[in-house]
Chain A
């Protein structure tokens, strides 16, 4: 990561703003725009503050950027975007895209995305990415001019399509298996976590009712009054504390979600390999059959049944000139095919090599990030318990004075 962009430049997504405008179909719509601010790091060392450059982008432009990157660098595990719609919500958060909490978390997610791309040794050097950060107007046209959409293989998008690949690289098969498992386990975990959070919220909030009733009760008591009243106050504190606790947990959930989506990026690389391997095998098969055809025509023996053979038998043999012409065409095709096969093989090997390098990089990043996330989750739980201890110690004191 010696020369990556993240080291040279500070990147933040600092604000989010609601906008209205007309979309491609000339229909009025509301959307959120995000402010991207960048500042060169180098000049700061000299004691000067470099000027902050900024521009506004909306989510769909981020999506365009990511699509471009996925197509242009198919061997790279491209960082994922934060979710389009709020998933795994528990009852407190709304699933509304305009909800301020959701927008805030998305802002953080988008910033995280940019930082990940900027710290990737290959991706950070991409000109379109740089333009995304710096060039407000005309960026979309610039992207479209690269013609990346033509390179996009629609087969990659077809999720259900399976390719009968005879000799895939075993590592990729294992990796695909792993990415499936990762996806399923994280989504299960997030679902249960959301339910647990919901229930925990319930437990804490009902204690708030104690506060109210204690306070009303204390009004009719003489000796018990003070104790009850102050204990009630602590119950209110307890009930209110859950809001902050669960908000912190949302950040943890977001960290897990990133890797849930990363699993898809991982799978995309595996599928690309599968596709390449498939094309390779198909090309090899095609070449073999052409060679066979050529041989048959040259020697006049028909080893395999073919419709052409039958028709020629029925409607008369070809003239030797016709046969010669056919053989020439086939030989040309065979030559081309051999060239293609060679280059495909090379491509395939290169792909495997560079993809695997990035996968190793990704694995390290994943292990590091997830470990940190798990640790911070544990720390969160400890702090929640500490708060609980404090509240109930206070409450106990009040009760004992009743």
Chain B
């Protein structure tokens, strides 16, 4: 598939092996049906009088008619991604918007501009855009298109048009207040189940994330001790005659074990750790989505209650109620469909990730 090969050549850090490509681009509909290919690469730092920040190159290739051209190359910074995410959340409050990498990780004490941090973030941003591209609804979102195609100045002028962040925050505050009370009573069974599931899932995925990090740390400690172990045998072989060869043999085997351990660690940090982290973030997002659905329902419910108390102005209310009912139904359906989709993805991801871990371990022991 030549278009794939071309895309790969743009981002040298994307590995070429087939199994990792599958991890990068989740072919849900099969590679032949995809018509939008996005890569995020080439981080560059920009220094101005006020601040220093990093931009990433976003390359899009597409065959879709609604795009004026078939190739786009733009530069975006993290703030732009945040903007896109909030626009998507606003437009589709009960759809599952993929997670963005966090703003700043305190616990790792990683420098904001360390290579490791930038690379981890780049990979996560790449994943973010691709997940949106794969989503049957979100992929056609107008803001998404603008994000991918607009030049820097076009984007900033477009950003200023939408409802400000502050007004949106105000909405959220009111919504949270209302959701605390009434939402629970009329919630359909299905969504209660989802809520319960998400609570447990969130717990477990967080635990798995911690466990995986712990394993990584233990392996690194093991590796550090092993580094010293091999050379001792070489040193010993210098005093011996008869057994010198055996000792040297063991020393070289230990060194190979060291290298194999390094590979295993790399496997963990490239595949398992990012996915677990992504799903930790996903679990938070999903709790948020469920809450928003509850809010929307809450709005409807409170209006219904209000109508029951005020017999007058029925017509006005009934129109509003009708609208709200539609909204609720729409929201519910959207969420349900998306939920199923998400679960399937999650399953697929977990399966492939853990299988990958198992394969890595197999390779390690075989070596």
- Chain A residues with a Cβ under 8 A of chain B: 178, 181-182, 185-186, 188-189, 192-193, 195-196, 198-200, 202-203, 206-207, 209-210, 213, 216-217, 219-220, 223-224, 227, 231, 367, 370-371, 374-375, 377-378, 381, 385-386, 388-389, 392-393, 395-396, 399-400, 402
Contacts and interface: CB of A to CB of B under 8 A. Distances in A.
B362 A396 contact: yes
Given A378-B250, A385-B366, A388-B365, A224 B358 contact: no
Nearest to B360: A392
Contact of B222 (A178, A189, A196, A216): A196
B365 A224 contact: no
B236 interface: yes
A340 B366 CA distance: 69
B253 interface: yes
A223 B204 contact: no
A237 B208 CA distance: 18
Contact of A389 (B200, B207, B221, B365): B365
Q: Which has the most chain B C-beta neighbours within 10 Å: A219, A371, A396?
A: A396
Given A231-B354, A371-B246, A220 B215 contact: no
Interface string B324-367: 00000000000000000000000100110011011101101110
Interface stretch (B57-65, B149-157, B226-234): B226-234
Chain B at the A interface: SS class: helix
B362 A374 contact: no
A392 B358 contact: yes
Interface in B59-84: none
A224 B201 contact: no
Given A182-B239, A202-B218, A375-B246, 4 more contacts: A199-B218, A367-B242, A395-B358, A399-B354
Interface of B: 196-197, 200-201, 204, 207-208, 211, 214-215, 218-219, 221-222, 225-226, 228-229, 232-233, 235-236, 239-240, 242-243, 246-247, 250, 253, 347, 350-351, 354-355, 357-359, 361-362, 364-366
A392 B239 contact: no
A374 B358 contact: no
A196 B229 contact: yes
Contacts of B365: 385-386, 388-389, 392
B243 A370 contact: yes
A393 to B, nearest CB: 6
Contacts of B359: 396
A88 B200 CA distance: 44
B219 A185 contact: no
A402 B356 CA distance: 13
Nearest to B350: A402
Nearest to A212: B207
Contacts of B240: 367
16 contacts: A181-B239, A185-B236, A188-B232, A189-B233, A189-B236, A192-B232, A196-B226, A196-B229, A209-B207, A209-B211, A209-B214, A216-B200, A231-B354, A389-B366, A395-B361, A402-B350
Contacts of B358: 392-393, 395-396, 399
